[in-house]
Chain A
Amino acid sequence: MFIDRFFRCQPLGLNYRNFVIREQSPAGLLQRVRDKNSFKRIMREHGVATPETYELIHDFLDMSLVGAFPKEFVLKPNRGSGGKGIILFERQGDAFVNPAGDRYKLKAVERHIRRILDGDFSGHIACDLAIIEERVYPSEKLRFKDALGMPDIRIFCFHFEPVMAMLRYPTRKSKGRSNLTAGGVGIGLELSRGTPTYIHAKWAAGEPRPETIGIPESFAMPKWEEMKETARTCSRLSGLALTGVDIILDAAEQVRVLEVNGRPGLEIQNINEDSLLKRFNHILEQ
């Protein structure tokens, strides 16, 4: 039918994505993956490695712990998205330093935690938990030119099957996080072999362009099959029709999962220069 053909050639738009989520992703399950800490526990129980949670901060009283934090850690809101409110920290004497070199005093860290607890980074909810998490360093093989933080691999799954993937690389602007909305750069990955496809990003003037990241011609993602298998496992665990699984490769080349997204972004299509809808149809036809 004409209508069908028309839709088939199109990229996946927000209207259609939201429709699929409305129809096939139950609200309860969406809530479950949004609660990062609980879902991390579920993933661990099923043999998926994740960064360790050092501490879960529920209220202001717990803040006395801040002084006793480990030397390196990541501070993040439990229900954040798009990298909002996440800071990667390293302690240098009294100060807490992020990958871009900004120094935070203890008071400033406490204030940030308080804002996390107030839900300032967590959409429309009124309060949240703060997670103090193990800071993971990337594998040597993922350190190209400027390694400011933690690159991650986003695998977009439809009906528990990987359909599109990209490597997200942090920049100075994204302060060590690799979320595209925070200023990270995306590099499309060919699904069967894990080799770079297109390089493309929404960059502002003065930011490092993707070419300057210096990804080698011959690059192929290490442990690619394992990563895809992990993405399958995690999206099955989530039970959601659409998932974006965020995977990292740590310094010991262990594949770990940062989190699973129930409402994955669509920018991945621009980065791979391909339509998700087309890939969905491949899955449905099989």
Chain B
Amino acid sequence: MFKRTLWGIAVVFIVVVLLWLGLSWVAQVLRQPGILGSYERVILHTPSGGFELTATVDTGADLTSIDRELALSLGLAPEPGVTRRIITEIGVVERQAVRLRFQLDGREITSEATLADRTAFTNRMLVGKADLSGFVVDSSRQFLTRPADAGTFYFVDPGALLGTSRLGRIIIMLPVLASIVVLLRLLAGIRTYGVFAPTIIAITLMDLGVLPGAAIYLFTVVAGMATKVLILNRLRLPRIAEFALVMSVLVALLSAVTALSGFISIQTAFFPLIVTTHLVEQTSRSVEEHTFSEALLLLGSTIAVALLLAGAGSLLLGQSLAVLWTAFAGSIVATLVAGNYLGLRLSEFIRFKFLRRTHVH
């Protein structure tokens, strides 16, 4: 049992590494040197050695600039008396300049950069037009190059592939949230309508904000259920027909609300719409299969778990990429371990209470 878990972890690990290598290889083959994204890694040559950082590539700026404090702390002192005049929104200003040498996409670049206070910007360095001759910039993409080597094989940094945007982070988090649902089921015995529903609800709640999100869900779930109970149950249609109609009614209602109030836009309601239709279907199916109160209980626990996930997700979203990937790896391990747990679920301690009383010697 334990051995199998270890095997499972090993296999997953190997698969992930192989995938990663494959991905790196593909990226390598597809890579076109000389094309930069809007963010790139560069290596600065400093008196104490190389210093790698992310720089913004900006063809709208003439000169390269670097954060003053960073430059000073790296021992890059401004040349006394040398200033550059640059044009900003507030007019022409004089800035101190510093001689910089850095590597970008395998090329050595020598530049004269201005010192500025860049603490408010995403990246503490900006590469301007003056240093971009010979490069093509595709500003819709990011991290297309490695600073030091143009030719040799390198590993794709999965964080750089996905984790730089909010959507990327949410995607990394998806399996983490799903595995929490699995843990709750296998260890605590908390049942939900599948893994899909609570995970997606959580993500939409994070995206729309908990309160507005909850409001939209409240609206769609109540409207969907009401449609099912008040209208569709009377029409006695086959189930598949009912759910196409639930969707139609929800879309009509949401468009009406959008048109009248502008409170919800039909776009923000996309996921709530899909998930709600799914939930209405599941709930009415389980009303048939179990009792009404059980079905409502399941709906309730699905929503409670979704709220929990939204909380966990919001916490994770703000963490560094390293934490995110650790959680990702941890969730794989946790799922494997929980999948091999053969003891009682927490809820079963309640269900079979007297059994333990009579039989534990």
Contacts and interface: CB of A to CB of B under 8 A. Distances in A.
B238 A275 contact: no
Contacts of A144: none
A275 B354 CA distance: 10
Nearest to B361: A9
B289 A15 contact: no
Contact of A15 (B238, B240, B341): B341
A13 B359 contact: no
B335 to A, nearest CB: 14
Nearest to B358: A273
Interface string B275-299: 0000000000100111000000000
A35 interface: no
A11 B342 CA distance: 11
Contacts of B348: 11, 13-14
A157 B358 CA distance: 23
A274 B239 contact: no
Interface in B174-227: 186, 189
A32 interface: no
B245 to A, nearest CB: 15
Nearest to B352: A11
Interface string A90-122: 000000000000000000000100110010110
Contact of B360 (A9, A14, A181, A269): A9
A13 B343 contact: yes
Contacts of A266: 352
Given A14-B345, A16-B343, A118-B240, A9 B285 contact: no
Contacts of B288: 84-85, 120-121
B186 A15 contact: yes
8 contacts: A13-B348, A14-B189, A16-B343, A120-B285, A121-B288, A181-B290, A269-B355, A278-B359
B342 A15 contact: yes
Given A82-B289, A114-B238, A120-B239, A13 B344 contact: yes
Interface of B: 186, 189, 236, 238-240, 285, 288-290, 341-345, 348, 351-352, 354-356, 358-361
Contact of B236 (A19, A111, A270): A111
Given A10-B344, A13-B344, A118 B290 contact: no
B289 A11 contact: no
A7 interface: yes
Which 8 pairs across A and B sit closest by C-beta, in order of nearness?
Answer: A11-B352, A13-B344, A11-B355, A16-B342, A13-B348, A9-B360, A118-B238, A15-B342
Contacts of A273: 354-355, 358
A11 B239 contact: no
Nearest to B355: A11
Assign chain A's interface to a size class: 20 to 34
Given A9-B361, A15-B343, A275 B236 contact: no
A270 B240 contact: no
Residue of A13, A274, A278 with highest tally of chain B CB at under 10 A = A13
Interface in A257-286: 266, 269-270, 273-275, 278
A9 B359 contact: yes
Centre residue among B189, B345, B354 by max chain A CB count within 10 A: B354
B292 to A, nearest CB: 12
B342 A7 contact: yes
Contacts of A270: 351-352, 354-355
Nearest to A13: B344
B32 to A, nearest CB: 47
B320 to A, nearest CB: 35
B343 A7 contact: yes
Interface in A31-87: 82, 84-85
B356 to A, nearest CB: 7
Contacts of A118: 238-240
Contacts of B358: 273-274
A1 to B, nearest CB: 12
Contact of A274 (B236, B345, B351, B355): B355
Among A9, A11, A84, A114, find the residue whose CB has the most chain B CB atoms closer than 10 A: A11
A7 B344 CA distance: 9
B281 to A, nearest CB: 11
A14 B352 CA distance: 12
Interface in A211-259: none
A70 to B, nearest CB: 26
Given A14-B348, A270-B351, 9 more contacts: A10-B344, A10-B355, A11-B348, A13-B343, A13-B345, A118-B240, A269-B352, A273-B358, A274-B358
Contacts of A16: 342-343
Contacts of B285: 120
A118 B342 CA distance: 36
Nearest to B293: A204
Given A82-B289, A121-B288, A181-B290, A11 B356 contact: yes
Contacts of A14: 189, 345, 348
A15 B290 contact: no
Nearest to B354: A273
Nearest to A200: B354
Contact of B359 (A82, A84, A120, A275): A275
Contacts of A278: 359
Nearest to B360: A9
B153 to A, nearest CB: 42
